[in-house]
Amino acid sequence: MKFSLPKSRLFSYLQHVLQVVPTKSTLPILTNILIESLDNKIKISATDLDISITASIDCTVVKKVQHQFRLVFFLIL
């Protein structure tokens, strides 16, 4: 996956999505976020099985793909 957008813009969308991600869960997959690259936008999704949130951000997408990230390793500034 390769895309281009300002780091501050990505960070602000991540802050909104992270509101539904549980810090501890019996299902480890719920502590991850999903990032998909689409045509000229990326989609960030998260859920705790009760509440789901998805954010779409306009950006320049060079390579389309879908990845899942653990939050601990993803939030590197």
d(CA 2, CA 23): 28
Q: Please write the tens of the pLDDT for every residue from 11-52.
A: 899 888 988 888 788 888 888 888 888 888 999 999 988 999
Q: How many residues does the chain have?
A: 77
Contact 37, 52 (CB under 8 A): no
For residue 15, the domain's CATH number is 3.10.150.10
Q: What is the pLDDT of residue 21?
A: 84
pTM of the model: 0.76
Q: How, if at all, do strands 60-63 and 2-4 pair? A: antiparallel
- If one counts the domains in the chain, the total is 1
- Residue numbers of the domain that contains 56: 2-74
